[in-house]
A and B are shown apart, each in its own frame.
Chain A
């Protein structure tokens, strides 16, 4: 008999084979080889790319090296989205390995520096001009990630938000600081056991409730500008029936549902698979949430062929 626990393992150990190449305009001392890596689907780009950074820094001029950021076919990749979500949203149904372009730009720091030290405004504006001209760090799309602390803060904020929805924050608030740390360390060091030893508490609920208070989910659509949809949604209908994935979509994103007679135009993806719309949302939330405790659902156009 297959165990639901295996789903947790499969979700955790999901890997995306990735090929990193340096952006052609980057100034290098010599030709850079592409770098191949298995990226954990549940982690964050800037958390697992130390090796990539090191690899490309070797060929970069020191003074050119700055904050690293990634892009896939012209789309800047948001580091604060889990890797699996980025892949599902932008690159599913494409050939593997996933090819990601690496950018380095120092100017941002420079700008920051100038601002900080009250340099004259003229200089600042000059620098900004240059920055914009050379299509550098996409301030509009990406958050800065100066250190791992930023990722940790973001990750913990997500977990807290999710628990606020699930348990009115009761579980996360009852945890000790070291438990919070263990969650983060578990993710950072890819320790499934260490992470789940704590995370299982976040997945519990009083037996009389039959589920969480609200399901923490976010729905992303490749085709819209809007970053994501997030609403309050209960796992159990007022009549006691379990809400399904289909119910959720019908409620918050009806465009994703294929009309009965219509042709299937979209794919609903979680962790690279398309669960059936009959799947209970509570089960999905318990078993297929990302480590940040959110169910990140991608809705993408179905490939035509």
Chain B
């Protein structure tokens, strides 16, 4: 199981901060151990905490990408006849140094670092780029007067000029607790802090990484930290939020939920939190579930609320959602907790009231938000590992008790538990450890420990000093020991309410046995405890927790946790994960089995192959009823019988024919397809039909596949799986794709791979690309990039980076057509959009009452399809909703504060503000949906990506690093270190500084790195080499006239770019000595995406291609006639489509592999005349390993056949 890890944060009673990874088994001590903490609140990227000095600290994880902030200021000059352009400005002019508007005076030396946690990256320098175009040296831009439009060229009437100075500062206090320094006025400074909670990152995406940070001071006042975001991790100031009473504790969910508890025991709920008002507007009050015991602690998620009352009972709030943040009623849950925390995915953790262990709520799912049972986390601490192992000794604590107690315990449990449940499961109630601990706690829950616990919790803000004192004394182990030894139990019957059943309402306790148990346990455990006490607590083995935060911890159904079993050497080695071979695979036993099996086969079969087989292979026919999109008009689905016949040829290979029997004017007819002619089978999932399309070269030319639909998803997958296997069998393709494979992705995120034949790029007769055979690989991706060494990376719709594991199959391709070891769960998240449309009328203003001719008031983007919030379904049954509908503020053209875009009429171009001429408006609603599938992909956390490029082929040997560049989804340029054939995931990112966000990157065979910035301009990176993987500096390359670029691809020597209007351009004049080239040549229009390969071959996804029957959008096309002297090629050859989104041919270097074309083997790119010797040498080198890998592949196939 592959999964990205995330962390659970916790503080023990000594104030030490630990983290537990979702893939780990041990609590690890926080790297920065200088401080002791009271509270922590974590999210994925950082953690905020209150230390024992009552100050707030933030802990930002170090990452490969730095946190940097660009400061800018403008230098302004005016021309005068005497001195030319000079610093002397007119009195009415702006400052000589100002901000972009000219209104604010800002000199270079007026910029200071905001806190000690920042450092300057470099000195000030001049920006020589205006709107994507390079300026003259010096960076001046000219205008007639201030304020005006500036151009890079000086004209006769240019009277003023200005230039932009920039300087970066970098946040340096990462992986340490950084104290939040307050710049506020001393008298407005908040008093010492008592509680903190962070969240709210889902309220809005802008600015990036925005967080809501809420804190409670000792005096019970609530503070909101302003401007906390990715590039300002500390925020700027505290602002006071008035409350109806004294607050003791606060909890902020990932979205708009914010609850706090009052000293009097009620909870208050913040209303009106949204994008424009992250602080919310007003409070409403929610009473405590029980009148005697007020609420002590509350924790919220996206749409759930849990609380703990002063009697330690745990409650779940029913009916909480965005529209009703207060919910409807409380339900009592089983268990007694000091506190609870709700994390990502609404998962819940708590700290046991008596044993101070952390419990995880099992079984929390979207349909059952309250979960099923509490399960103790038994993970030990990293530091205990060298010792005896805390968890085993934790378990052995049960030995302190006599048999009869254990018997009684189990009797109680059996009486209460669901009889069908497996009592042997290591659940809370049945594990001897936890019962033992319960007993121990029952024995030791004396007045002293009572005082201690209250000090740890915000029950009384006035007692905080005492809390500090206790924390100090708690570090004294002997005191602690005394505390736990104190006899007496004020609340004995409370100890036993741990059972498997979910809600408390559902169970009845046999009172008698409870009390008798409590008596015996407290008596006998007291007797034995003093013997074992020193061992148990003196050795500091079982961690006692004071606080836990799950806000950064992602647990989902697909990731089994290893927290609940005691770590042991063997199981951890078997279960440990890595992309390279797992220890289990390398284990001697495994090798031995493989070896012996092959010896056995040799021994028992080698000399006897001429013997007859006992079972003859027969024809296997699968038949079924499907629906077929009929050939004649009117086109519609009709019921058909389908049969697949398999037969074994004389060579032992199998081939198949698919028959489709249909009725035409009451006449029985059929069509048939030889599966060895099928080029691709594509799943066409939509909410209405489970259908798939089957293409042959002929059908690709027509743009008219055979379409079949099944009644159920399962039935469709059975057919798909069988047909796919039959196709692969008849083409003798099995196992993983070769290194040269061509990968592509459809607009549905489906991944296809094709083995290139040598005739695809060279030969007397080129293979038309509609004959390429594509097979599906499991997973869901937005783009995919490969190289000829078998390094393949992908990026999902949620921008997660994935690396290919070398497997095959996955998805619906199960069983044998799929590899077993390297298929992992993969998930992806994307948005579904609908539009709310309104028309203005003089009476009511904008309303949802449109003209009769208008589009639907709730529609898709085109307005043709009605799409309401309730009738819009996820794209296919594989997807499920993971959010509610929310207003999307990011459509092109901008929106107003409520998300509206205005226009004169439908359909028109929309803008983000209302003008007099606007009679209609619309806004976009988004809803996130998630797919969970599987495939040969492993996540590469934590940086999310926008684009990737891998060096297509290089002469480096296997061990040597493969150059891989990427753009993060924030626009940072990154260079991956440590990528090799053996470790395709690499080790870390190296950040390459840029002055603006980038969107596309490509690296050529000779380390030529080209990139496109968000403003549409192109850049070349100088001096990139294996020894200098990040190069030295960017050279700005002017774009083709008036075009904003969007993609670049660099092959062996060719450089192609694509602009936002779909034009493909070739860079002319590139030579080794002048790698930037000279001019852009137009090649084609109508292009959506392109990929230039190691042979300088050019493949694209074309927007529209006309076939004989139909038109297809998103079609794979191959540029033909690409020659060394004709790098732009001559025409297009059309392949599979439509609906294709992305292709990469950067693995395919199989040009001269067969030696069929001796002249092409000598082929050298035309523009490299000047550097003939150098590039020729490299070309030869790069071909040698290709030959080798080709023969290896042949061998592999022969072994398998």
B615→A272 contact, CB < 8 A: no
Complex Cα distance A105/B604, Å? 31
Taking CB as reference atom, which chain B residue is nearest A9? Answer: B816
23 contacts between A and B (CB under 8 A): A1-B585, A3-B819, A6-B594, A14-B600, A15-B604, A15-B605, A38-B608, A40-B614, A40-B615, A43-B614, A48-B615, A189-B615, A190-B615, A197-B721, A207-B1, A210-B560, A239-B565, A239-B566, A242-B574, A275-B596, A278-B589, A280-B589, A288-B593
Q: Which residues of A contact B587 (CB under 8 A)?
A: 278
B570→A242 contact, CB < 8 A: yes
Complex Cα distance A247/B322, Å? 55
15 extra A-B contacts, CB within 8 A, seeds A13-B601, A39-B614 = A3-B819, A3-B821, A5-B820, A6-B594, A7-B593, A7-B594, A10-B600, A15-B613, A17-B604, A17-B608, A43-B615, A189-B617, A190-B613, A272-B604, A273-B599
Q: Which residues of A contact B618 (CB under 8 A)?
A: 189
Taking the complex as formed, is B467 at the interface, i.e. its CB lies under 8 A from any CB of chain A?
no
Q: Which residues of A contact B570 (CB under 8 A)?
A: 241-242
Residues 344-380 of chain B, each 1 if its beta carbon lies under 8 Å from chain A, else 0: 0000000000000000000000000000000000000
Taking the complex as formed, is A262 at the interface, i.e. its CB lies under 8 A from any CB of chain B?
no
Taking the complex as formed, is B612 at the interface, i.e. its CB lies under 8 A from any CB of chain A?
yes
Taking the complex as formed, is A51 at the interface, i.e. its CB lies under 8 A from any CB of chain B?
yes
A208→B560 contact, CB < 8 A: yes
Q: Which residues of B contact A14 (CB under 8 A)?
A: 600-601, 604
Complex Cα distance A10/B620, Å? 22
Task: Select B816's contact among A51, A193, A278, beta carbons within 8 Å.
Answer: A193
Complex Cα distance A197/B814, Å? 8
Taking the complex as formed, is B815 at the interface, i.e. its CB lies under 8 A from any CB of chain A?
yes
Complex Cα distance A13/B605, Å? 10
Taking CB as reference atom, which chain B residue is nearest A83? Answer: B614
Nearest Cβ on chain A to B365's Cβ, whole angstroms = 14
Taking the complex as formed, is B806 at the interface, i.e. its CB lies under 8 A from any CB of chain A?
yes
Nearest Cβ on chain B to A79's Cβ, whole angstroms = 14
Residues 181-199 of chain B, each 1 if its beta carbon lies under 8 Å from chain A, else 0: 0000000000000000000
Secondary structure type dominating chain A contacts: mixed
Known interface pairs A4-B821, A196-B815; A207-B615 also in contact (CB < 8 Å): no
Q: Which residues of B contact A271 (CB under 8 A)?
A: 597, 600
Task: Select A192's contact among B589, B590, B816, beta carbons within 8 Å.
Answer: B816
Q: Which residues of B contact A36 (CB under 8 A)?
A: 608, 611-612
Taking CB as reference atom, which chain B residue is nearest A5? Answer: B820
Taking the complex as formed, is B603 at the interface, i.e. its CB lies under 8 A from any CB of chain A?
yes
Complex Cα distance A15/B606, Å? 10
- Residues on B close to A: CB < 8 A? 1, 392, 558, 560-561, 565-571, 574-575, 581, 584-585, 587-590, 592-594, 596-601, 603-605, 607-608, 611-615, 617-618, 620, 721, 725, 806, 814-816, 819-821
Task: Select A279's contact among B593, B601, B603, beta carbons within 8 Å.
Answer: B593
A240→B571 contact, CB < 8 A: yes
A1→B581 contact, CB < 8 A: yes
Q: Which residues of A contact B567 (CB under 8 A)?
A: 240
Of A38, A49, A189, A288, most B-chain CB atoms within 10 Å: A38
A190→B608 contact, CB < 8 A: no
Nearest Cβ on chain A to B419's Cβ, whole angstroms = 14
Q: Which residues of B contact A278 (CB under 8 A)?
A: 587-589
Task: Select B596's contact among A17, A194, A274, beta carbons within 8 Å.
Answer: A274
Taking the complex as formed, is A32 at the interface, i.e. its CB lies under 8 A from any CB of chain B?
no
Taking the complex as formed, is A2 at the interface, i.e. its CB lies under 8 A from any CB of chain B?
yes
Q: Which residues of B contact A1 (CB under 8 A)?
A: 581, 585, 806, 821
Complex Cα distance A200/B584, Å? 21
Taking the complex as formed, is A138 at the interface, i.e. its CB lies under 8 A from any CB of chain B?
no
Task: Select B565's contact among A3, A189, A240, beta carbons within 8 Å.
Answer: A240
B611→A241 contact, CB < 8 A: no
Complex Cα distance A272/B595, Å? 12
Complex Cα distance A279/B574, Å? 11
Of B575, B590, B603, B615, most A-chain CB atoms within 10 Å: B615
Task: Select B614's contact among A4, A49, A194, A208, beta carbons within 8 Å.
Answer: A49
Taking the complex as formed, is A96 at the interface, i.e. its CB lies under 8 A from any CB of chain B?
yes
Complex Cα distance A4/B608, Å? 26
A17→B605 contact, CB < 8 A: yes
Complex Cα distance A197/B599, Å? 27
B593→A280 contact, CB < 8 A: no
Known interface pairs A40-B615, A190-B615; A275-B589 also in contact (CB < 8 Å): yes
Interface of chain A residues 13 through 38 with chain B (CB within 8 A): 13-17, 36-38
Complex Cα distance A96/B604, Å? 7
Q: Which residues of A contact B614 (CB under 8 A)?
A: 37-40, 43, 48-49, 51
Complex Cα distance A236/B426, Å? 13
Taking the complex as formed, is A97 at the interface, i.e. its CB lies under 8 A from any CB of chain B?
yes
Nearest Cβ on chain B to A286's Cβ, whole angstroms = 10
Taking CB as reference atom, which chain B residue is nearest A194? Answer: B620
Interface of chain A residues 215 through 253 with chain B (CB within 8 A): 236, 239-242
Taking the complex as formed, is A148 at the interface, i.e. its CB lies under 8 A from any CB of chain B?
no
- Residues on A close to B: CB < 8 A? 1-7, 10-11, 13-17, 36-40, 43, 48-49, 51, 96-97, 188-194, 196-197, 200, 207-208, 210, 236, 239-242, 271-276, 278-280, 283, 288
Of A3, A194, A210, A278, most B-chain CB atoms within 10 Å: A3
B600→A272 contact, CB < 8 A: yes
Q: Which residues of A contact B816 (CB under 8 A)?
A: 5, 192-193, 196-197
Task: Select B588's contact among A40, A43, A192, A276, beta carbons within 8 Å.
Answer: A276
B592→A276 contact, CB < 8 A: yes
B603→A280 contact, CB < 8 A: no
Complex Cα distance A90/B599, Å? 20
A273→B596 contact, CB < 8 A: yes
Q: Which residues of A contact B605 (CB under 8 A)?
A: 15, 17, 38
Complex Cα distance A274/B593, Å? 8
A5→B819 contact, CB < 8 A: yes
Complex Cα distance A242/B560, Å? 16
Task: Select A97's contact among B575, B608, B620, B814, beta carbons within 8 Å.
Answer: B608
Complex Cα distance A175/B571, Å? 32
Q: Which residues of B contact A192 (CB under 8 A)?
A: 816
Task: Select A239's contact among B560, B568, B594, B599, beta carbons within 8 Å.
Answer: B568
Task: Select B815's contact among A4, A97, A190, A193, beta carbons within 8 Å.
Answer: A193
Task: Select A207's contact among B560, B565, B590, beta carbons within 8 Å.
Answer: B560
Nearest Cβ on chain A to B807's Cβ, whole angstroms = 8
Nearest Cβ on chain A to B818's Cβ, whole angstroms = 8
Q: Which residues of B contact A40 (CB under 8 A)?
A: 614-615
Complex Cα distance A36/B613, Å? 9
Task: Select A273's contact among B560, B588, B600, beta carbons within 8 Å.
Answer: B600
Nearest Cβ on chain B to A209's Cβ, whole angstroms = 9
Task: Select B571's contact among A97, A188, A208, A242, beta carbons within 8 Å.
Answer: A242
Complex Cα distance A278/B597, Å? 17
Taking CB as reference atom, which chain A residue is nearest B581? Answer: A1
B615→A241 contact, CB < 8 A: no
Known interface pairs A36-B612, A51-B612, A239-B566; A4-B604 also in contact (CB < 8 Å): no
Complex Cα distance A64/B635, Å? 67
A190→B617 contact, CB < 8 A: yes
Nearest Cβ on chain B to A12's Cβ, whole angstroms = 10
Nearest Cβ on chain A to B1136's Cβ, whole angstroms = 27
Known interface pairs A241-B571, A278-B588; A17-B611 also in contact (CB < 8 Å): yes
Q: Which residues of B contact A11 (CB under 8 A)?
A: 597
Complex Cα distance A288/B558, Å? 27
Q: Which residues of A contact B596 (CB under 8 A)?
A: 273-275
B806→A10 contact, CB < 8 A: no
A240→B814 contact, CB < 8 A: no
Complex Cα distance A11/B593, Å? 11
Complex Cα distance A5/B560, Å? 23
Q: Which residues of B contact A194 (CB under 8 A)?
A: 620
Known interface pairs A97-B608, A273-B597; A241-B568 also in contact (CB < 8 Å): yes
Taking CB as reference atom, which chain B residue is nearest A270? Answer: B593
Taking CB as reference atom, which chain B residue is nearest A197? Answer: B815
Q: Which residues of A contact B617 (CB under 8 A)?
A: 189-190
Nearest Cβ on chain A to B777's Cβ, whole angstroms = 16
